[in-house]
Amino acid sequence: MKKKQKLQTAAAMIRIYCKARHRKKILCSSCSELFDYVSERLEACHLSEDHASCFMCPEYCYHPDMRKKVKKVMYYSAPRMLFYHPILTLRNLHHLKKTHRSL
């Protein structure tokens, strides 16, 4: 999965979370900050385009506080992604299945 697609998926998840939890139509400041951090980390990633997902990566580049926030967002948004963004969800699942044979 390309970095652009990973960023689209992360943006969609953060928007779903912010809309539900913070009741905003646009990203609030904390969610916008989280998105900026995620995009910065994706751009700084030195691994190849087809590397494993961040949760399976041997190098943890996220700060522990930010990792907690990302986990919280993903825990909430992941089950809802299929309803809001089915194509992104299927693309992400296909990538996970391809790169992680045990899934």
Q: Give the C-alpha separation, 19 to 26, whole Å.
A: 8
| Residues across the chain | 103
**Structure pTM?**
0.81
Residues 6+ apart with CB under 8 A from 52: 99, 100
Taking Cα atoms as reference points, which of 63, 73, 65, 86 lies closest to residue 10?
73
Average confidence score pLDDT of the chain: 83
Whole-number pLDDT of residue 54: 65
pLDDT digits (tens, 9 = 90+) for 24-55: 778 999 999 999 999 999 888 876 665 656 66
Taking Cα atoms as reference points, which of 101, 93, 39, 92 lies closest to residue 66?
39
The Cβ of residue 31 has, within 10 Å, a number of other Cβ atoms equal to 20
